[in-house]
Amino acid sequence: MTTFQSSVRLMLRCIVIAFVIFIHDNAKARDANAAFVREIAPGVYAHQGAVALMNAENRGDIANIGFVVGEKCVAVIDAGGSLEVGRALLAALRQITDKPICFVVNTHVHPDHIFGDGAFVAPGVTFVGHKNLPRALAQRGAFYKKSFRPMIGALADEAVIVTPTLTVDGERTLDLGGRALTVRSWRTAHTDNDVSVFDTASGVIFTGDLVFLRHTPVVDGSLLGFLSVVGDLEKIPAKLAVPGHGPIGVDWPAALQAEKTYLETLTKDLRRLVKSGERVDRAAQEAAQSEKSKWSLFDDYNPRNATAGFAELEWE
Amino acid sequence: MVRGNLLAGSLVALMACSGALALDRPDLWPGLAKDIFASKAISKDADIATLEAPARAEDAAIVPMTINLAKPATQVRKATLVIDQNPAPMAASFTIGANSGLTQISTRVRVNDYTEVHLVSETTDGSLHMVERFVKAAGGCSAPSVKSLDEANANIGQMKFRTIAASDLGDARRREAQIMIRHPNNSGLQMDQVTRLYIPARYIDQVKVTQGDDLIFQMEGGISISEDPNFRFTFVPNGSKTITVEAHDTDGKVWRSQFPIEGAS
C-alpha cells in the first residue's frame, strides 16, 4: 500500500469515527434534552430546579417548570430563571412533540420563573398571568434585571421581561384541544400576582410558589393571605402537584402540609412577639426557629418572612 | 473540553464581575452632603447620636433603622437619615421637640442596593454630626416596592397607636410608643416601556406628632420610607391626656387622629 493510499484510508476512518461520534453525541444530546423533564402524568411534563439561590453555576435553574401537551397545542408553565433554562425547556419540549406552543403561563413575577420567557416569544404564543402581573412586572422587572446581575451576571442582562396579554381575574380556561387547563388567580399570598394551573385530565396542579417543598417558603405578599390560600388550595381535587420548588409529582393535598405548619408556626410566634413589644429586627431572628431543621435556605428566607410578617401582624 | 474551559473561564470572569459590582459603587456621599446640608461642615462623631441598622437587609422593602440620641442632654434639633444609593436618598428628616424627652426613634425604610446609610444630627448650636452604616442589599426576589398595592390603597390613612411596656428607658417617666399609618408610600412609575403602565407617585411627606402644644417629633419624608410608615419612639408625657398624629401626603390629603396617653396625669 502506498503512503497516499494509507493516508486516504486513515482519513476515511477518521471521518467515519467522527460521524459515529457525531450521531452518538446527537442522540446523547437528544436524550439529555428529553431528560430535562419528567413525564409525571400522561402529557404532563415537569423539570425540577435546584433547591438553591440563583447563581452562576446553576444558571438560574432553581424553579420547577413544565408543560402540558393537548391534542392541538402545548401550554408551558413558567420558563425558568434564565434564557438558557427557557431554551433547555423548549429543547426538551421539541424532543417530545411538534405541536405548537399556544400559551406560556407565568405563575408570578419572580425572576426564577420568568427570566426564561424570552425563549418562548414567537407568533401565536400567548403569555398568561394574574391581573396584577403586568403591574408587578412594571414595578419590578427592571429592578430584578439589575439586582440579579451580581448573582447570575450576563444571564440577568439577556432576560426578556414579557408582559402577559391574557390576564386572569378569577378563573380562565385554556383550551389545548381535548384538554382544558384552569388558570386561577389568587388573593395576595406568596405575591400579589399568583396563579395556579390545574389540568383536569390528569389531576395535576402546577401551584407556582403557592407551594414550597424543602425550600423555605417565601412570603413576598401576605402571611395571612398565604395561610388562607393554602386552606383554599386544599379543597382543589388534584391528585399530584408540581410545587414551585422542591420535588415534583408529589401527592396532593399532602404536599401542602409542611408549608402550612411553617406558616402557622411563623404566624403564632410573630403574634406573640408583637404582643410582647419586641422590635421587628429582634423578632426576625427569633420567629419560627423551631422549623429551622425542616427546611433548606432557612437563614436566607425566614428572617425576611418574619420581617414582613411582623409588619403585617402589627395591624391586627 | 474547549467548551468546558470556556465555561470555566466565563464563570471566573462572571465572579470577578459580580465582586466588582458589589464594591465599585461610586461614593455619592460628598455630593449628597453638599446638596442636603448646604455645604455645611459635618463632623464624623458618634457622641451625639448613633444609628442601628442591619448589616444585611432581610426584606428590601422593610429595613429597620433606629436612631439613638446618645446624649439626650445635648439637644438634638434634627436627625436626618440618608440612604446614599436609593433613588431618593433623603429618606427622612426628624425634627425633635425640645420638650419631648425623645431619646430613640425607629422607622423602616426601603433599601434598593448595597449602600452606605448616613445619620446626620443637628444640635441646637447648629453644628452637624454624622455616623454611617453599611447595609448589604437584600438578596433573591426581594424588591423595595409595595407588596400589595390594592390592599394598601384600600386602607389608606388608617392609623394605629400603641404604648409599649418598656423596661429601662433611663427615666421612670419616659414611655415608649408606636405610630402606624396605612399608606402605600408608593414611588410611582413613569410610563413603563414594556407594560405601558403608569402609576402616579403617592407618599407621606410629613408626619407631626404632638402632646398638647408640645411637639414630640415631626418627620419630613419620601419614598424611601416603607409602605405603612411606622415610627416607634420614646417620650416623656407632659401632662396632656392625648397624643395627636397628623399625616400629610403628596396628594394633599391630611389624616389626623388623637390617641389617649395611658396613665396620663
Task: Output the pLDDT for position B75.
Answer: 85
Helix (H) / strand (E) containing A117:
none
Residue B191 pLDDT exceeds 50: yes
Task: Output the pLDDT for position B46.
Answer: 87
Mean pLDDT, range B194-202, rounded to an integer: 85
pLDDT in tens, A79-128: 999 999 999 999 999 999 999 999 999 999 999 999 999 999 999 999 99
Are A183 and A171 in contact, with CB atoms under 8 Å apart? yes
Residue A269 lies in a domain: no
Task: Output the pLDDT for position A15.
Answer: 57
Sorting pLDDT into bands at 50, 70 and 90, what band is B14?
very low
Residue A312 lies in a domain: no
Which CATH number characterizes residue A76's domain? 3.60.15.10
Window 230-249 of B, Cβ < 8 Å to A:
230, 232
Asked if the C-beta of A303 comes within 8 angstroms of chain B's C-beta atoms, the answer is yes
The residues with which B97 forms a beta bridge, in sequence order, are none
CB contact under 8 A, B199 and A135: yes
pLDDT in tens, A227-250: 999 999 999 999 999 999 999 999
Residue A53 lies in a domain: yes
Task: Output the pLDDT for position A143.
Answer: 94
**Distance (Å, rounded) from C-alpha A179 to C-alpha B154?**
39
Residue A212 lies in a domain: yes
For residue A245, what are the domain limits? Answer: 36-253
Task: Output the pLDDT for position A27.
Answer: 56
Residue B11 lies in a domain: no
Task: Output the pLDDT for position B22.
Answer: 47
Task: Output the pLDDT for position B168.
Answer: 74
B164 CB neighbours in chain A (<8 A) are: 277
pLDDT in tens, B151-176: 888 999 999 999 998 667 778 889 99
**Distance (Å, rounded) from C-alpha B107 to C-alpha B209?**
14
Phi, psi (5° rounding) for residue B245? -115, 130
Which CATH number characterizes residue B38's domain? 2.60.40.2470
CB contact under 8 A, B59 and A308: yes
Residue A198 lies in a domain: yes
pLDDT in tens, B94-139: 999 999 999 999 999 999 999 999 999 999 999 999 999 999 999 8
Asked if the C-beta of B216 comes within 8 angstroms of chain A's C-beta atoms, the answer is no
Number of domains chain A is built from: 1
Number of domains chain B is built from: 1
CB contact under 8 A, A307 and B199: no
High-pLDDT (> 90) share of chain A, %: 89
CB contact under 8 A, A163 and B160: no
Distance in Å, alpha carbon of A110 to nearest chain B alpha carbon = 6
Sorting pLDDT into bands at 50, 70 and 90, what band is A286?
very high
Task: Output the pLDDT for position B13.
Answer: 38
Q: Please give the distance of CA B96 from its chain centroid, rounded to a whole number.
A: 15
Asked if the C-beta of B12 comes within 8 angstroms of chain A's C-beta atoms, the answer is no
Residue A40 lies in a domain: yes
Q: Is A31 helix (H, G, I), strand (E, B) or coil?
A: helix
Residue A31 lies in a domain: no
Task: Output the pLDDT for position B199.
Answer: 84
Question: Grid coordinates 468546558 are at which residue?
Answer: B4
Which of A190-204, A205-219, B187-201 has the least mean pLDDT?
Answer: B187-201
pLDDT in tens, B26-50: 899 999 999 999 999 999 998 899 9
For residue B186, what are the domain limits? Answer: 27-260
Sorting pLDDT into bands at 50, 70 and 90, what band is B21?
very low
Distance in Å, alpha carbon of B215 to nearest chain A alpha carbon = 24
